[in-house]
């Protein structure tokens, strides 16, 4: 087992021990149900052939079909995908969704390929994994470096293979092709909703707080936009892979988003008071820190210097093993990834429901339903935190494990 999966199991294990989880159920949940590795050739624009490696892991399906994103990244590995599928099981369960956890990915740097090459890679990958996916089996969605366009190719590929249009096979599709209103900003909206609830739990209104966000991808930028525009927080620091920018008066996020679209980075944004590294951003004296980049970005060393009072995990697994303990000892309130960034999968669920019913909701309905579900999940987690006198991550796992364990026991073990 690689380090990421071991780290995931440790966090799960802490909750399992505290709640005295049945040993047999624990063994089931510590292992993924299915792991698929596919290696497939694709013809490039110059007629050369490249072979790509892709993965699809289904961790658990006790509560319903598997659900989880597909990422395109040169560092994608089986260990990473397995860990992400594991987290998805508990993310869906903590939100009360009728899903199990899955994840997929291709080992590829999409920036190195043309749009046509990416389309061929995407279609071939989806054909290869179609033996395990389907609207009643496993419903993929976007993740790192995958877009609504890629989801449209996935949907079309699957539809061509089965002989009819199957809208519900993937979520995160373009609106107008079975996609849902509000899906693009859903994860960022969920992050900002729980950030406001965490602030309230600390006895402060979020509008009086300063925020630093690591990562200006889909999650980071929409969390920044909604926190500043709708919740009234002051977002003073933001970063992307090229570096971080700081402004003590807060940023105009819409303007910053336009700048990123035009220049490809925010690191040279002229209205910033100063530039800094991603590491410096994480140790700024702010109220709320949102790590919304990749996993393991906050090491124990960085954790020692974190000054934020609240951490809201926009990314999956952004705290390295050991960082949790340091931050908990310092009294930092950590809203864990399986709760904090569950807005994306929740609106994916809404999209799937809309596709199956061929009845589509207005954006206000989507946002209102999302905020209600995030509120409920936060409250249930907070109650569990107080019941067991533990941290939010362990409490969220207890809420989720209880639901998966109940379904597993009631269903029994076949045969």
Q: How wide is the angle at C-alpha 377 spanned by C-alphas 140 and 97, nearest 5°?
A: 35
DSSP string, 311-347: EE--SSS-BPTTHHHHHHHTT-EEE-HHHHTTHHHHH
Report CA-CA distances (Å) from 331 to 21, 157, 214, 233, 288. Answer: 27, 49, 21, 22, 13
Q: Pinpoint the alpha helices (H) of 178-252.
A: 186-201, 218-229
User: Angle 78-94/3-18 helices, nearest 10 degrees?
Assistant: 30
Report CA-CA distances (Å) from 87 to 103, 198, 215. Answer: 9, 21, 20
CA distance 312 to 211: 10
Catalytic sites, residue numbers: 103
Burial class (CB in 10 A: 0-12, 13-18, 19+), 322: middle
**Per-residue buried b or exposed e for 192-228, using 16+ beta carbons within 10 Å of the residue's own CB:** bbbbbbbbebeeeebeebbbbbbbbbbbbbbbbbbbb
Nearest alpha-carbon partner for 229 in 264, 212, 246, 254 = 254
CA distance 84 to 2: 13
For 388, the token pair is 């067991």
């Amino acid at each position: 087992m690689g380090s990421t999966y071991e780290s995931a199991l440790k966090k799960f294990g802490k909750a399992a021990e505290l709640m005295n989880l049945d040993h047999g159920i624990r063994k089931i949940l510590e292992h993924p149900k299915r792991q698929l590795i596919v290696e497939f050739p694709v013809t490039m624009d110059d007629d050369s052939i490249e072979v790509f490696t892709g993965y699809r892991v289904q961790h658990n399906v006790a509560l319903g079909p598997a659900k989880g994103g597909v990422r395109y990244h040169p560092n994608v590995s089986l260990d990473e995908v397995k860990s992400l599928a594991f987290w998805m099981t508990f993310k869906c369960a903590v939100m009360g969704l009728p899903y199990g956890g899955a994840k997929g990915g291709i080992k590829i740097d999409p920036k190195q390929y043309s749009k046509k090459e990416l389309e061929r890679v995407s279609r071939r990958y989806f054909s290869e994994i179609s033996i395990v996916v389907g609207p009643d089996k496993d419903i993929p969605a976007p993740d790192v470096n995958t877009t609504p366009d890629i989801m449209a190719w996935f949907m079309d590929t699957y539809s061509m293979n089965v002989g009819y249009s199957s809208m519900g096979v993937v979520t995160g599709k373009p609106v107008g092709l079975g996609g849902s209103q509000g899906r693009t900003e859903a994860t960022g909206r969920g992050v900002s909703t729980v950030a406001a609830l965490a602030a309230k739990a600390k006895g402060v209104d979020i509008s009086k707080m300063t925020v630093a966000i690591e990562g200006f991808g889909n999650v980071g930028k929409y969390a920044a936009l909604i926190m500043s525009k709708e919740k009234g927080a002051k977002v003073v620091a933001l970063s992307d892979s090229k570096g971080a920018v700081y402004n003590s008066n807060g940023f105009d996020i819409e303007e910053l988003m336009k700048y990123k679209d035009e220049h490809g980075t925010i690191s040279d944004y002229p209205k910033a008071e100063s530039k800094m590294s991603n590491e410096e951003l994480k140790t700024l004296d702010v109220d709320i820190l949102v790590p919304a980049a990749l996993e393991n970005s906050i090491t124990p060393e960085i954790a020692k210097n974190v000054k934020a009072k609240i951490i809201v995990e926009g990314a999956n697994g952004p705290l390295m093993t050991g960082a949790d303990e340091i931050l908990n000892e310092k009294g930092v309130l950590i809203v864990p990834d399986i709760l904090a960034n569950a807005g994306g999968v929740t609106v994916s669920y809404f999209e799937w429901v809309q596709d199956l019913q061929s009845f589509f909701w207005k954006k206000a309905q989507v946002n209102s339903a999302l905020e209600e579900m995030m509120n409920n999940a936060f409250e249930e987690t907070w109650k569990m935190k107080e019941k067991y006198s533990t941290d939010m991550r362990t409490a969220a796992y207890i809420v989720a494990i209880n639901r998966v364990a109940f379904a597993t026991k009631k269903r029994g073990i076949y045969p």
